[in-house]
């Protein structure tokens, strides 16, 4: 019996710290901590509100530009198979008019490059090659201009986050100088908001820059493939004799 009491006493003494720690944990859990939206919706500083608004707009813009980049760099948009097959069939039959009509009815980057070659067919094959190369560079610039907005957002987002961090630290030090009773709470909220702006800025910048690099490489690769496809399609016309009067209307 004595041994039983000894073991019971030892167990109670060992379990007491655990119970105290569990009770403290429950008390800490009962304290409500501010969430992300609580920090965002703290309108004590109009500058912080403006920064958060710009961060959300930048995030929405990145999503929109990523969707646009996916659509713009699709192979079916840059190198449509129906256009390639239609032009190839027309040129194999020696029907340049039909090939030009196919380009006009299937607008795309490839059709623009083809038309640049067709409109200079009377100037010789060397001029056609130069025209195709120039048209390819022009179409590449058009696509890259749209994709480059992702790069812009990727550079602006961290700057907005840094600006939010600076303004948050200013608010934190201003709160430390105040004599209010909840000075510690204001300090913690200001620092938390400052760090959250940096986190959000980086979360926007990383996918934006990654998407920009991927779309840029895809666009350049497919436009170079378009140039090679055009030169392959019109090589059958290299030794063809074309009368200037017949294609005069396409040289305008």
Domain ranges of the chain: 1-31, 35-250
Answer whether residue 168 shows pLDDT above 50: yes
In whole angstroms, give the CA distance from residue 163 to residue 186: 19
Q: What is the CA radius of gyration of the chain?
A: 33
pLDDT score at 159: 92
Phi, psi of 124 (to 5 degrees): 110, 160
Q: What is the pTM of this model?
A: 0.70
Cβ atoms of 116 and 129 within 8 Å: the answer is no
For 66-69, which contacts have Cβ atoms below 8 Å and span 24 or more sequence positions? Answer: 66/150, 66/207, 66/208, 66/211, 68/146, 69/146, 69/147, 69/150, 69/211, 69/212, 69/215
User: Please, which residues have CB within 8 angstroms of residue 65's CB and are 6 or more apart in sequence?
Assistant: 146, 147, 149, 150, 153, 208, 211
Q: pLDDT (tens digit, 9 = 90+) per residue, 186-207?
A: 677 777 777 888 888 999 999 9
How far lies 62's CA from each of 99, 162, 196, 215, in Å? Answer: 39, 18, 19, 13
Q: pLDDT (tens digit, 9 = 90+) per residue, 4-14?
A: 444 444 433 44
Q: pLDDT (tens digit, 9 = 90+) per residue, 48-72?
A: 788 888 999 999 999 999 999 999 8
Q: pLDDT (tens digit, 9 = 90+) per residue, 208-225?
A: 999 999 999 999 888 888
């Amino acid at each position: 019996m004595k041994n039983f009491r000894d073991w019971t006493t030892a167990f109670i003494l060992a379990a007491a710290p655990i119970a105290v720690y569990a009770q403290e944990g429950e008390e800490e859990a009962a304290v409500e901590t501010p969430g992300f939206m609580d920090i965002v919706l703290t309108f004590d500083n109009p500058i912080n509100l403006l920064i958060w608004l710009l961060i959300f707009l930048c995030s929405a813009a990145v999503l929109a530009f990523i969707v646009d980049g996916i659509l713009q760099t699709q192979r079916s948009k840059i190198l449509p198979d129906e256009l390639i097959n239609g032009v190839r069939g027309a040129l194999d039959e020696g029907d340049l008019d039909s090939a030009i009509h196919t380009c006009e009815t299937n607008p795309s980057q490839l059709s623009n490059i083809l038309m640049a070659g067709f409109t200079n067919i009377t100037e010789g094959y060397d001029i056609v090659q130069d025209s195709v190369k120039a048209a390819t560079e022009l179409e590449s610039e058009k696509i890259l201009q749209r994709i480059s907005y992702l790069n812009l957002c990727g550079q602006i987002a961290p700057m907005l986050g840094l600006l939010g961090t600076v303004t948050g630290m200013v608010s934190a030090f201003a709160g430390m100088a105040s004599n209010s009773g909840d000075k510690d709470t204001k300090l913690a909220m200001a620092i938390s908001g400052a760090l959250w702006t940096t986190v959000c800025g980086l979360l926007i910048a990383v996918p934006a820059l990654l998407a920009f690099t991927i779309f840029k490489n895809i666009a350049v690769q497919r436009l170079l493939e378009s140039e090679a496809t055009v030169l392959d399609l019109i090589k059958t016309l290299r030794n063809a004799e074309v009368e200037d009067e017949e294609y005069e209307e396409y040289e305008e």
